[in-house]
Amino acid sequence: MQTDSHSTVNGTPAKADLLLDKDFVIDRVDDRLFGSFIEHLGRAVYGGIYDPGNPRSDQHGFRQDVIEMIRRLRIPIIRYPGGNFVSGFNWEDSIGPREQRPKRLDLAWSSTEMNQFGLHEFCDWSRQAGSQVMYAINLGTRGVDAARNVVEYANHPKGNYWSDLRRENGAAEPFGIKLWCLGNEMDGPWQIGQKTAYEYGRAANECAKVMKWVDPSIAVVACGSSSSDMPTFGAWELEMLEQCYENVDFVSLHRYYGNQKNDLSNFLAKSMDMDAFIKTVASLCDAAGAKKKSKKKLNLSFDEWNVWYHTLDQDKETIAQNRWGEKLHLLEDVYTFEDALLVGGMLITLIRNSDRVKIACLAQLVNVIAPIMTSERGCWAQTIYWPLMLASHFGRGTSLQPVIKSPRSSTCEYDDVPLIDAAAVLGDDESLNIFAINRSIESDVQLECDLRAFGAIKLDETISLQSDDLKLKNTEEKPDSVFPKVRKYGSRVENGNISITLPAASWNVLRFSKEIA
């Protein structure tokens, strides 16, 4: 790794500078930035959040230990029911008496869908979890008719066929789902009912239009490219927005990263790719709007993001051996400490882009590429649980633009990678939280913070994710191997300057508050 003059000299830690001002406002962080995702896939629903008969479940079959862990994350919104699954899903199969609901082949994951947990159950469960619902409609095998019906079923008060059916099925009050996804990854050949950009744009436009006729208070998300690696990336956004710009509110982004080459410096730089992806999609939205001479600005929904690569081969094997199985162990990536670092780095990127990214969903939430894992005996936090929890707790407020001078390096894929990356959030209570990653594997970095603009403040504590073993994992037997370390300070920031050591390969929250005279 090459570094510049800031790097370690004779064992002295490298230095970086961070300057903040209250006026360097990016935007208010939308609470929905800390959302997540549950798909009917593997053991996310069955054996994950829903496990009737398990002693840890309530009378509805909702695992209370899992709900408790989700509540601690303070997840504001959860996307459901897919994912690839949704493109073959009939929402009507998931309502009414359970014994009458059909079992179906799920072609997306070569599994069987039992439909024992559906729309009502998810809305009830989300309420328990303290989250709002972000519901995806099927634009693979279905279209405008199913789309308008499900909005009527979910959101119309009463007096019509679908809303009265909801009431007969036990929900007198509407579910009031405010955010809807118009299909999932419709550009992908793996998708049931893949579409061209034009076909998708037309379908999305008509669905958005009539869904809003049923309930004008909803917002809808159009599918962007399923990743920036897609050959049609860019062209897809422009062409589909040409068809639906005025009727949609958000464009989706999806991105997963892996460390297949076991090259940590390169892996940790991937949040820079995420940053570039966000800025490109924002520009594409603006270009589409400019072409239409529209005054409307589209924002972004990064509704699938995570590390995902550990189980790809194993999943192929599992599917080959258990075709049409139920509760298969699929996408059960066991996350390492370094995965948590990248997830933390991606959260920094999301917070710093809060002027355009208003919704983000860590994909997924339970058992499937998830921060929370379950067995019949209990549940535990994977390494990636911690950065999400810390960002969700301390990342609410106004995102400020930090000015950072950092040693830089280059990796096999990225030039000019700053060792220190950071985001800052000013809370409504005037607390200041700085999220900072040290991407260097070898050197601690001394972060010189210039906080003069904040007046009399004190450093209350630092919370760090740090481990000498980058491959450390949390397992059912050893659930706390990776756990945040809290250091209490309570020390005044003299003359607005403070120097804090960020250990090599660490992700940190530096927590300041106003000093009360």
Residues with catalytic roles: 185, 304
Q: How far is the CB of 86 from ligand AHR (least distance, A)?
A: 8
> Nearest distance from residue 16's CB to ligand AHR, in Å?
35
- Return the number of the residue (82 or 88) whose C-beta is nearest ligand AHR: 82
Please tell me the chain's helix, strand, coil percentages from 3-state DSSP, rounded to the nearest 5: 30, 30, 40
* Residue 304 within binding range of ligand AHR, rule CB under 6 A: yes
Give the span between the Cα atoms of 419 and 500, in whole angstroms. Answer: 15
Give residues 223-252 in contact with ligand AHR (rule: CB under 6 A).
none
Helix (H) or strand (E) holding 385: helix 385-394
Contact 358, 250 (CB under 8 A): yes
Nearer to ligand AHR, 153 or 305 (CB): 305
Q: By CB under 6 A, is residue 424 in contact with ligand AHR?
A: no
The 3-state DSSP class for residue 357 equals strand
Q: Are strands 25-28 and 104-106 parallel, antiparallel or unpaired?
A: unpaired
Nearer to ligand AHR, 214 or 373 (CB): 373
The alpha helices in 215-244, defined as continuous H runs, are 235-244
Q: What is the CA radius of gyration of the chain?
A: 23
Nearest-approach distance from CB 319 to ligand AHR, in angstroms: 14
- The residue count for binding ligand AHR (CB under 6 A) is 9
| The one segment of 50-58, 76-84, 161-169, 417-425 that binds ligand AHR by CB under 6 A | 76-84
Sites for ligand AHR among residues 174-213 (CB under 6 A): 184-185
Near ligand AHR in 78-107, by CB under 6 A: 82-84
Whichever of 84 and 467 has its CB closer to ligand AHR, that residue is 84
- Under rule CB under 6 A, residue 407 binds ligand AHR: no
Q: Binding to ligand AHR (CB under 6 A): which residues in 447-506?
A: none
Q: Nearest Cα to 207, choosing from 187, 226, 181?
A: 181
Cα distances (angstroms) measured from residue 136 to each of 54, 105, 382: 29, 19, 27
Provide the token pair at 119.
């729309």
Residue nearest to ligand AHR (CB): 83
Shortest CB 264 distance to ligand AHR, Å: 24
Instruction: Answer yes or no: are the C-beta atoms of 91 and 150 closer than 8 Å.
Output: yes
Nearest residue (CB) to ligand AHR, 63 versus 255: 255
- Using alpha carbons, select from 309, 254, 318 the residue that is nearest to residue 109: 318
Phi, psi of 162 (to 5 degrees): -75, -40
With a CB cutoff of 8 Å and minimum separation 6, the contacts of 210 are: 144, 147, 148
Which H helix or E strand runs over 142? none
Contact region with ligand AHR (CB under 6 A), list: 77-85, 93-101, 343-351, 426-434: 77-85
Indicate whether 140 belongs to the interface with ligand AHR (CB under 6 A): no
Which amino acid makes up residue 107? L
77 DSSP β-pair partners? 132
- Of residues 358-377, which lie at the interface with ligand AHR (CB under 6 A)? 363-364
Minimum distance from residue 320 beta carbon to ligand AHR (Å): 19
Instruction: Using the minimum distance from each CB to ligand AHR, give the nearer residue, 184 or 392.
Output: 184
Question: Does residue 260 have a cis peptide bond before it, meaning omega lies within 30 degrees of 0?
Answer: no
Question: One symbol per residue from 16 to 55: x for binding ligand AHR (CB under 6 A), - otherwise; what is it?
Answer: -----------------------x----------------
CB of 331 to ligand AHR, least distance (A): 6
Output the CA torsion sign for 133, 138, 142, 143: positive
Tell me how far, at minimum, the Cβ of 382 lies from ligand AHR, in Å. Answer: 15
The footprint of ligand AHR (CB under 6 A) covers: 39, 82-84, 184-185, 304, 363-364
